[in-house]
Amino acid sequence: MQDRHLLVFAIVGILTAGVVVSKAWDAVAGKDQAAETPTAVHYHAERFDPEKIAAMEAQLRREPKIVDLIHASPAGVEWQIGVHHDGTSRIGFAGYVCQQLRSAGLMNATTDVRIVDIDYLRSNPGAFRAASLGHVRCADQSVIAP
């Protein structure tokens, strides 16, 4: 449970830092905040039913490969799925998770799934990119570099 809290705090910290940097940059550039498009906090315009999200989390947790997961919306990577690294790429598994999300009606144009090495992440809290074993944008199945 402590690892999950570290994961949540790391995600919240990354989102907060992104918004702060964005607002600071806009202030330096002299941009009017009110006239601008929504900030990163509003990255996912479409909100999904929390009950559907909870059901999907429960379904995914039953997958034998999945050790832990986090759904964070809005976030740059909405679904972070922790697995034990077996030396293989997990791009295909990320695509499989995307299919599950699509079937449940929990996918939009910006839904991303990242599969992470949970053991590496536990040793290096917040290092999602370094722990990445596969990252896919669900809408078009494009692979995103860590």
% helix, strand, coil for the chain, step of 5: 45, 15, 35
Question: What pTM value is reported for the model?
Answer: 0.67
Q: Examine the pLDDT at 14 and tell me if it is beyond 60.
A: no
- Taking the C-alpha atoms of residue 29 and residue 106, their distance in angstroms, rounded to an integer, is 36
- Confidence at residue 145, expressed as pLDDT on a 0 to 100 scale: 82
Q: Is 132 helix (H, G, I), strand (E, B) or coil?
A: strand
Q: Which amino acid is at 101?
A: L
Q: Examine the pLDDT at 5 and tell me if it is beyond 80.
A: no
Give mean pLDDT, residues 69-87: 88
19-66 per-position pLDDT tens digit:
333 443 444 344 444 333 333 333 444 578 899 999 999 999 999 999
Mean pLDDT, the chain, integer: 77
- Confidence at residue 32, expressed as pLDDT on a 0 to 100 scale: 44
- Confidence at residue 77, expressed as pLDDT on a 0 to 100 scale: 83
- Confidence at residue 146, expressed as pLDDT on a 0 to 100 scale: 67
- Confidence at residue 20, expressed as pLDDT on a 0 to 100 scale: 35
- Confidence at residue 25, expressed as pLDDT on a 0 to 100 scale: 40
Two tokens at 106? 């929990």
97 pLDDT tier (thresholds 50, 70, 90)? very high
Q: Examine the pLDDT at 98 and tell me if it is beyond 90.
A: yes
**Hey, which residues does 132 pair with through a beta bridge?**
116
